[in-house]
Amino acid sequence: MRLAAPTLLSLVTLLSAFEVGAEPVAPAKGGAVVDVPGTEPRVLVELRGPAGAAFMRENAHGWGSVCHAPCRARVPRGEQYKVLVPGWRPTHAFDFSESSSAVRLDLTRASEVKSVLGQSLGWLGIAAIVGGLITVAVVDTKAGDTAGLVIAGGGALSLGIGIPLAISGAYSSVTPTPIAPTARLFAVRGAF
């Protein structure tokens, strides 16, 4: 009975991809095509990996899973999506409004080092700005004013470098790369 469950799940996934009155969608390389209900136009999305990556769609209750890598799904263009990978930082929400009719999602893991370094430089910068301004306010000499302004300026530089680093390391990135839809899928479903 153990073997029957995955087979039944595959059959249910394949059957759920059918539209009433439409011809069946042939299984794609890597599994069935998941057809997400929604508005037209649609885009065919291919997610090859990494293993365990979940292609997510925003719905009325939050985020729901469309499919797990490797998979293909036909989804509405204008809705919000993201990809979650176990052990990775999430991607920003994105849509396919400017994408071609078929795309492959290429993922880049966020850099933990960039994130930590950026946050550290940011906090150090804030502390230096505050310390420098306090020095200017407290010390009544020209040398004290100069030292305080130099410290505050260094803090501003540190903060200016830290913020972009922290932001670039905060989210994994996803790039939709145009691919040619398979002729079999294109012919069955028509233009996207």
d(CA 12, CA 9): 5
pLDDT score recorded for residue 175: 74
pLDDT score recorded for residue 188: 40
pLDDT score recorded for residue 24: 33
Helix (H, G, I), strand (E, B) or coil at 92: coil
Residues 6+ apart with CB under 8 A from 33: 17, 25, 27, 44, 72, 73, 74, 185
Work out the end-to-end distance of the chain between its first and last CA atoms, rounded to an integer number of angstroms.
39
pLDDT score recorded for residue 122: 93
> For the chain, which residues score pLDDT lower than 70?
1-32, 37-39, 170, 181-192
Instruction: Render 93-147 in DSSP notation, one character per residue.
Output: PB--TT--SEEEEEEE---HHHHHHHHHHHHHHHHHHHHHHHHHHH--SHHHHHH
pLDDT score recorded for residue 110: 75
